[in-house]
Amino acid sequence: MTATEPEATYPVSQAGRAAERSRLRRVRGGLGTFIRRSPLSAFWGCIAAAIIVMAIAAPALVPYEPLKSDFRAMTKPPSERHYFGTDQIGRDVLSRVIYGSRASLTVALGAVLFGTTLGALWGLASGYFGGRFDIISQRVIEFLQSFPDLILAMAIAMALAPVSAPSSSRLRSPAFRSAAALSVRSCCR
């Protein structure tokens, strides 16, 4: 017997298969437990997975090109040919929705990554520097969290979007202010 040629060979493949089967059984058992304990979460997890798969496989799934116009099928209702119908210039709406999911998921993933990275770095800096920086950053975050999300989004959109003179003068009019005050009062009761 030499060091390079062992006398007995061990059935590694059988041990590897048994470990793989055991791991597969544990995963299957964990998924089964999750589905039994939280069926609603499992259902929406399957929906989210289907949307992600649809976005990745968009070129293979779309029935028509999303940007190709068919002027004979302009503004058609849903039919056998176009399941979601067509838009004003004859583009298939289903194809556009499937391709649009790619952009939506990209923006969502980018926003989550950006927010998580920025929050983690801000938290690390706040913990590292401490003192006044920590207190000021806490107050800024509490101030931002005190606004409802929709109103904050509208304020940011109004601040960033260019406003033409006629529309801005409409916003300053007393009629607009009284209508806005009435809608806020009726909304907040």
Q: How far apart are CA 184 and CA 168, in angstroms?
A: 20
Residues 98-157 have pLDDT tens digits of 999 999 999 999 999 998 999 899 889 988 998 899 999 999 888 888 878 888 788 888
Per-residue pLDDT, averaged over 53-58, amounts to: 92
Residue 83 has pLDDT above 60, yes or no: yes
> Residue 160's pLDDT is what?
83
pLDDT band at 43 (very low <50, low <70, confident <90, very high): very high
Residue 11: per-residue pLDDT? 54
Task: Encode pLDDT of 136-148 as tens digits.
Answer: 999 988 888 887 8
SS3 of the chain: the string is CCCCCCCCCCCHHHHHHHHHHHHHHHHHHHHHHHHHHCHHHHHHHHHHHHHHHHHHCHHHHCCCCCCCCCHHHCCCCCCCCCCCCECCCCCEHHHHHHHHHHHHHHHHHHHHHHHHHHHHHHHHHHHHHCHHHHHHHHHHHHHHHHCCHHHHHHHHHHHHCCCCHHHHHHHHCHHHHHHHHHHHHHHCC
Q: Which pLDDT belongs to residue 19?
A: 67
Is pLDDT at 12 greater than 60 in this prediction? Answer: no
